[in-house]
A and B are shown apart, each in its own frame.
Chain A
Amino acid sequence: MFAHLSPNVLWMLGGLFGLLAIASGVQWWLARRHPQRDFGELRARIRSWWVMVAVFALAIVVSPTVSVVFFGIVSFLALKEYFSIIPTRRADRRVLFWAYLAIPLQYYWVHIGWYGMFIIFIPVYLFLFLPFRMVLIGETRDFLRAAGTLHWGVMTLVFSISHAAMLLQLEGPVLPAGGAGLLLFLVFLTQANDIAQYIWGKRFGRRHIAPRVSPNKTWEGFAGGVTTTTLLALVLAPWLTPFSTAQAAAAGLLIGGAGFIGDVTISALKRDIGVKDAGSLLPGHGGVMDRIDSLTFTAPLFFHLVYYLYF
Chain B
Amino acid sequence: MKSLRYSLAALALIATTHAAMAADNLEIIVPFAAGGATDIVARSFEPTFSQQLGVTSVVRNVAGASATVGTAEVANSEGNPNIIGYEPAGALSIQPSLKKLPYGPDSFTYICRTVSNPMFLMVSKSSDITSFQQLVEESQDQPFLYGSSGPGTLPHLAMAATVVNSDLKAEHVPYSGSGPAMNALAGNEIQIMADTETILENYDLRPLAVFADHRVEGYDDVPTIEELGLPALDFAVWQGVVAPKGISDERAKQYAEACKATVESDKFKTFADKAKANIAYLGPDDFKAFVQKRFEANKQVLEDAGLTQ
Same complex for A and B? Answer: no
